[in-house]
Chain A
Amino acid sequence: MPKLKQNKNGQTNSINQVRYGCALGALHSVVAIPGAMPITHCGPGCVDKQYMSLAFYNGFQGGGYAGGAVTPSSNLQEKDVVFGGAKHLDQLIAASLKIMEADLFVVLNGCIPEIVGDDIGAVVARYQAQGVPIVSAETGGFKGNNFTGHEIVTEAIIEQYVDKYARNKDQKQKGLINVWSELPFQNTFWRGDLTELKRILEGAGWQVNILFGYGSKGVQEWLTIPRAEFNLVVGPWLGLRTAKLLEKKYGQPYLHLPVLPIGAKQAAEFLRAIAAFAKENEVQTEKFIKEEEKEYYYYMEYFTDFYAEYWWGLPASYAVVGDAAYNLALNKFLVNQLGLIPALQIITDCTPEKYREAIGEQYKHLAEDVSAEVEFAEDGYIVGKLLREGQYGHKPPIIFGTTWERDIAKELKGHIVEVSYPVSYDVVLNKTYIGYRGALTLLETIFTTAISKSA
């Protein structure tokens, strides 16, 4: 047997304990846009698998208006494989338009049509020609994960819908920004996080197209994308592709801030960077930071008593296992706000190779005096091995990870805070761990977990 390529951690092709969905899983990016609905052209179990893993046993977020068992699906059968499924899709689209209420439909395919060669673009084009707000996205499951799928979907909506229906594309609206950040549903806390992100950006004087979740005006908001002054990419890499597309398409510059801000220090740095980039809203930004810090440090002052003199031991070192965005964000906060010691950082979202070096650089400068290494691994067995081999000092670590790390946390007699997909032991509604407010919630979670151990 020819030896397959393995990386330095011994990772083979095997993935035990999945940490992302497939490209089709990005149907959840459609579900996240108010007023939009996915139509899926795939096998009978594909939608259920992506839903149950990304949206149910991951914070029990739920399917909402267009997800879960609502999503139309062609549930492909043997005859579709043999004879092709394009006609089947055509019938499903027509029936969906008759039965389902939505402002925008996004047709996504799975592995089967991708292999047998159904031309979903051609089927969808016939409806587009008749004025139906519908787009097609080729998200065959073997093309990549749901991060890849997310940008395929985003691009499809921009190219096939926004570009066609948006008005006054050339008139930029001063102060309006498009925000590309967390991956909806994959990131368990995306709803609360995007709300907080929008709140602090608005507080600093911006008008915000947040594009996904409750704070978005949905499909109507997407139509204003071309009018934004610039695009803001928040996170180590996701969204850069979309920002580059928009730069080319509508001449919009973009600002890339790799650190999703948690806590007052990071949030202030974040807001000042945006104001400096645009040379706008500088005064309002400073005013907002001042107000927010007043509130933030009011609570922090009271928290100080606990953090300074709790008798029964608090964790000192930590490990983070998760998507690049949360991984880096948590590291920044834990080091700079709490002074915890980074022991092990593992990014699990299959970050494209070209971004990895730059991300590694970020970890080298977590603080002026704190530097860390970051590993990239996706297979749970490798993650477990790395955690087992980790050096945590004389006390067990606190692990920021997924449900998969519960066993190893027990083994190490450590603590676990579930922050990354899958989060199967946390019920999440609007909880946020970012910004000013989210940071306080994060502190509550971390230390409730830590001190509950003796209970």
Chain B
Amino acid sequence: MPKKINLDIASVEQREQRLGTIIAWDGTTEELHRASSYEERGKRERGSGCGGNCRLCELSGPFTQGSVCSEQMVECQAGNVRDAVLIQHAPIGCGGGQVEYNSIYRNGLAMRGYKVENIRIINTNLQESDMVFGAADKLRQSIDDAFGRFQPQAIFVASSCATGIIGEDIESVADEKEAELGVPVIPLSCEGFRSKHWSTGFDATQHGILRQIVRKAPRKKQEDLVNVINLWGSDVFTPLLKNLNLRVNYVVDLASVEELAQMSEAAATVGFCYTLSSYLAAALEQHFGVPEVKAPMPYGFEGTDAWLRELAKVTHREHLVEDFIRREHERVKPRIAELKEKLRGVKGFVATGSAYAHGLVQVLRELDVTVDGSLTFHHDPVYDSGDSREDSLGHLNEHYGQVKNFHVSNRQQYQLYAFLQENKPDFLLIRHNGLAPLASRLGIPAAPLGDEHIAVGYDGMINLGETILEIMAHKKFHDDIRRHVKLPYKKWWLEQKDAYILARQPELAAFDAEEYRKERKEAAHA
């Protein structure tokens, strides 16, 4: 029996402790799958040691470029709840996220047909003296400001590296304020340094929602309501689920606090990506009795068919599903055949979050696009439910074949150079920022999937195919740029075939004053 998610403590357990998450790895997807030992890990109590064959080695080197932190994921989830406020108990720099997530929030609201308005995030603006004396009163003040200004239904409080180190007792202040104000005041433990991977930030938000918002005694069971764990993507699930007479409850982004509270009343929980949905879905099942749909993710025919069948089974709608699947296959197949024709001989490279990448590779292979290489920002050897039906990497290998050059690389642009040389793709699929700018300078266009639902389901195959054709047309721009820019990487690095060479041979990066002087001299002459 896998270990149950612990909702008794205020801080979420880090992803690496729960799941054994890694952020650097190199090999084939079959090797990674073997090393991950999904099934074995799923059965045993997690965090209880490795026992021989489920060790997953990580490649850690001396060089890194700026990555992403857990608090950012809190901003993009808790900050996007429509009638809540997020407080960042942090120095002003953490507030930079307000700008990015405001843009995302505004675009998300527009995409879903809500009134467009500014995001409500408040930074407590900590100063040098606060690092010495603490800043509980500033937190209290900001909570009062949040409540007085916006009349929110819930107030989230995110920690930061600074408040984590100086030991701010956010939990006590939150308890005190919750009692005083009568709305949930929810501490979220998301210090950037605390977890090696930012996806812990998703879990931190979900943990807080599960503890303090989800209704513990459901008023009624809503047998046609399905929790869909997503971000701000366009509404593709409503039409899809309507065919099974099911209604959608989108969480966490763009949901209201009431929509979060009613999660415990739903008939089932689904997601579009296990990286995002793993924690919340498993906890809803374990603590609130809402079954998680345990199936491959809804990408490609194989994945979507299996996902729909499992959803129908869990919600007792088996009688509706086969006919729907048949009709959908008939509907989309002619267009997919046309797209295949146009995409013949095209090579793609996926560079996104972990489980999402597995799904995207499936869709590309449905479209006959060649995928020899991919990267994910991290890898979870198992998801929280421990159920093998969610083994997204295994599903990819089994139904669509392995990816031979598979890299786990946490948004490290310098490594992408070698990956692209190795695979020579015609385009990239990306989601997080930072990688496409390098690809562009090498003449390779990238499709930024800002709408995360673009590749979901049967229409997802068509959408993605069309998107690829559009961005391949941009190639003229990227080729032109390629001829006119200089990369910031030295020749020595650009000649390396192995992107992990510094992890394998860290001595190569040791400073050699003589060599450096020589190099500078040559550069001065050139």
Q: Tell me the A residues contacting B by CB distance below 8 Å.
A: 1-2, 4, 12-18, 20-25, 37, 40, 43-54, 56-58, 62-63, 65-66, 68-78, 80-81, 91-102, 110-112, 114-116, 127, 130-132, 140-143, 145, 380-381, 403-404, 406-407, 421-422, 424
Contact = CB atoms under 8 A, between A and B. Distances in A.
30 contacts: A4-B141, A12-B141, A12-B145, A13-B141, A17-B102, A18-B98, A22-B96, A25-B93, A44-B68, A44-B193, A45-B72, A48-B72, A49-B100, A53-B100, A65-B486, A65-B488, A69-B437, A72-B66, A73-B65, A76-B161, A77-B193, A78-B194, A93-B511, A94-B511, A95-B502, A95-B509, A100-B489, A110-B93, A115-B162, A145-B92
A244 B411 CA distance: 41
B126 interface: yes
Interface stretch (B115-123, B205-213, B254-262, B287-295): B115-123
B67 A75 contact: yes
B192 A52 contact: no
Contact of A17 (B100, B118, B125): B118
A380 B138 CA distance: 17
B149 interface: yes
A383 to B, nearest CB: 11
Contacts of A66: 488
B81 to A, nearest CB: 16
Residue of B103, B489, B493 with most chain A CB atoms under a 10 A cut-off: B103
Contacts of A68: 433-434, 437
Nearest to A127: B511
B192 to A, nearest CB: 4
B95 interface: yes
A142 B198 contact: no
Contact of B66 (A16, A69, A97): A69
B179 to A, nearest CB: 14
Interface string B60-99: 0111111111111000000000000000000111111111
Contacts of A130: 511, 513, 516
A25 B92 CA distance: 10
A24 B93 contact: yes
Contact of B128 (A2, A40, A142, A424): A142
Contacts of B9: none
Nearest to B491: A101
Contacts of A51: 66
Contact of A44 (B67, B162, B493, B509): B67
B473 interface: no
A418 to B, nearest CB: 12
A142 B196 contact: no
A12 B142 contact: yes
B508 interface: yes
B93 A98 contact: no
B170 to A, nearest CB: 15
A453 to B, nearest CB: 17
Given A94-B509, A95-B509, A99-B414, A112 B161 contact: yes
A70 B488 contact: yes
B1 interface: no
B130 interface: yes
Given A52-B433, A81-B193, A116-B165, A45 B65 contact: no
Residue of B98, B120, B126, B130 with most chain A CB atoms under a 10 A cut-off: B98
Given A49-B72, A69-B435, A407-B117, A424 B124 contact: no
Contacts of B70: 45
B413 A69 contact: yes
Interface string B479-511: 000000010111011000000001000101111
A92 B511 CA distance: 10
Nearest to A62: B437
Task: Pick the 7 closest A-B CB pairs, nearest first.
Answer: A45-B69, A22-B93, A47-B66, A69-B434, A141-B93, A95-B63, A43-B192
B198 A57 contact: no
Residue of A54, A70, A72, A111 with most chain B CB atoms under a 10 A cut-off: A111
Residue of A20, A37, A141 with most chain B CB atoms under a 10 A cut-off: A141
B95 A92 contact: no
A75 B434 CA distance: 15
A206 B414 CA distance: 41
Contacts of B92: 15, 18, 20-22, 141-142, 145
A13 B64 contact: no
Contacts of B121: 16
Nearest to B416: A69
B131 interface: yes
B399 interface: no
B99 A53 contact: yes
B64 A73 contact: yes
Nearest to A20: B92
A253 to B, nearest CB: 33
B104 to A, nearest CB: 9
Contacts of B516: 97, 130-132
B509 A142 contact: no
Contacts of B138: 4, 13
Interface in B32-73: 61-72
Contacts of A91: 62, 506, 509
B137 interface: yes
B392 to A, nearest CB: 25
B69 A43 contact: yes
A49 B146 CA distance: 23
A241 B194 CA distance: 37
Given A43-B161, A52-B99, A72-B63, A14 B490 contact: no
A126 to B, nearest CB: 9
A258 B161 CA distance: 38
A49 B93 CA distance: 8
Given A50-B93, A142-B92, 10 more contacts: A1-B137, A15-B95, A44-B198, A53-B100, A71-B65, A72-B63, A98-B63, A111-B161, A130-B511, A142-B130
